[in-house]
Amino acid sequence: MQLQLSKLTAGRRPSGRATVSRIPTVRVTATVAMPAPSSTAAQPHGRVFNFSAGPAILPVDVLERAQADLVNWQGTGMSIMEMSHRGKEFESVIQKAEADLRALLNIPSNYKVLFLQGGASTQFSMIPLNLAKAGETVDYVVTGAWSKKAAEEAKKYCNVNIAAKGDNKSLPPVSGWKLTPDSRYVHYCDNETIGGVEFKSTPDVGDRVLVSDMSSNFISKPLDVSKYGLIYAGAQKNVGPAGVTIVIIREDLIGHCRPEAPTMLDYKIHVENDSMYNTPPCWSIYICGLVFEKLLKLGGLEAMQKLNEEKAAVLYDAIASSNGFYSSPVDPAVRSLMNVPFTIPSQPDLEKVFVKEAEKAGMLQLKGHRSVGGMRASIYNAMPIEGVQQLATFMKEFAAKHAN
């Protein structure tokens, strides 16, 4: 089988030529065969285009490299999943992962990077327990399902002021946020995975501590970390497999955890132990490290943003050029580059047909979230532009077949 490699599924030599020379070819036997349309080139290893919102697609060459290392990592005679997290072998893995992430985001030296467990949802509790005392006020901007859950959890530990609320289709202007003068921090979600709304710049909250959930657009674009007090992101959407949550926290915010909080929810404990107070999610951290390394070789986050903008343009153009057959419910000014919801407003019964026929054509996980319905295409970093182009072509053909 000939492998067609996009920017996201191939390494790059300095000359710009694609290469996978250091990745051995591995035969994979699929347990479920998904038919591919005749108009589409076969994907490596019989893979499909996976538009899942998370866990989500990973770069093929990262998976190939991980597969090659699975049984015997770099001649150690052990898998990453078997070796001690206290040993020098895994220490080199987690240290390189942190170093590469720092290089990608240009993280200032007065910020700590943590690889934690419990998902981003655990951060909903960890943040107020570390950054605010009982009775103090914190500001939350609610723009969708995830920021709403974060605010609800914070109410258990402190006074929560809802500074602004969105309508799941647009974002409230920062100038209209009703922030508390003495709030301990301002929390917002940079990209709402379900609704598909995304902030296009960092909100200016003055000298307040800005906290952001970036689970679904982390490392998809350049970011000025110095404008934030704390950034957190579950890895399973844009970074790696489920199991690890990345936290970037400014040093002055560490060491203030409430004494009644569980030990595992104290940032200071994890900083003092280099993210290894207990056994970390070694395999997930290893995969994240491979992704960070790959992005650096591809040109960093400026290059990644450019490609993500190109992919999103293909999909939004397909919606706009459908003469109303498809509709995007989101304000064009804040449409996400990562998660694209769309509907068939004139014939909603066709949406289930669309999802089923797309599956037959090798495009999976296009069903919208159960809370909103419709369809949703998640086009994270690892989604090659060929996948988005195939979806756009399918959309056009489906509309032509079913338009009244």
pLDDT average, residue stretch 206-232: 98
Answer yes or no: is pLDDT of 37 > 80: no
Residue in this structure with the two tokens 């459908």, named with its chain if needed: 322
pLDDT average, residue stretch 111-133: 97
Beta-carbon contacts of residue 204 (< 8 Å; ≥ 6 apart)? 174
Where does residue 90 fall: left (phi above 0), alpha (psi -120 to 50 degrees), or beta otherwise?
A: alpha
292-345 per-position pLDDT tens digit:
999 999 999 999 999 999 999 999 999 999 999 999 999 999 999 999 999 999
pLDDT top residue among 35 and 53: 53
Q: Which residues are catalytic?
A: 146, 213, 237
Query: Is the sign of the CA dihedral 42, 48, 49, 55 positive or negative?
Result: negative
Task: Return the pLDDT at 195.
Answer: 94
pLDDT top residue among 237 and 32: 237
Start-to-end Cα distance in the chain: 41
Task: Return the pLDDT at 41.
Answer: 54
Task: Return the pLDDT at 1.
Answer: 36
Smallest Cα–Cα separation from 141: which of 216, 206, 192? 192
Task: Return the pLDDT at 55.
Answer: 95
Inter-residue contact 117 to 241 (CB < 8 Å) = no
Domains in the chain (CATH in brackets) are 62-298 (3.40.640.10), 300-402 (3.90.1150.10)
pLDDT top residue among 295 and 22: 295
Beta-carbon contacts of residue 350 (< 8 Å; ≥ 6 apart)? 344, 402
pTM of this structure: 0.89
Task: Return the pLDDT at 44.
Answer: 86
Lowest mean pLDDT among 32-46, 176-190, 251-265: 32-46
Percent pLDDT > 70 in the chain is 90
251-263 per-position pLDDT tens digit:
999 999 999 999 9
Task: Return the pLDDT at 243.
Answer: 95
Task: Return the pLDDT at 25.
Answer: 38
Smallest Cα–Cα separation from 92: which of 77, 108, 106, 74? 74
55-112 per-position pLDDT tens digit:
999 999 999 999 999 999 999 999 999 998 988 999 999 999 999 999 999 999 999 9
Task: Return the pLDDT at 33.
Answer: 41
- The chain-wide mean pLDDT, for the chain, equals 90
What torsion do the CA atoms of 94, 22, 13, 1 make, to the nearest 10 degrees?
Answer: -120
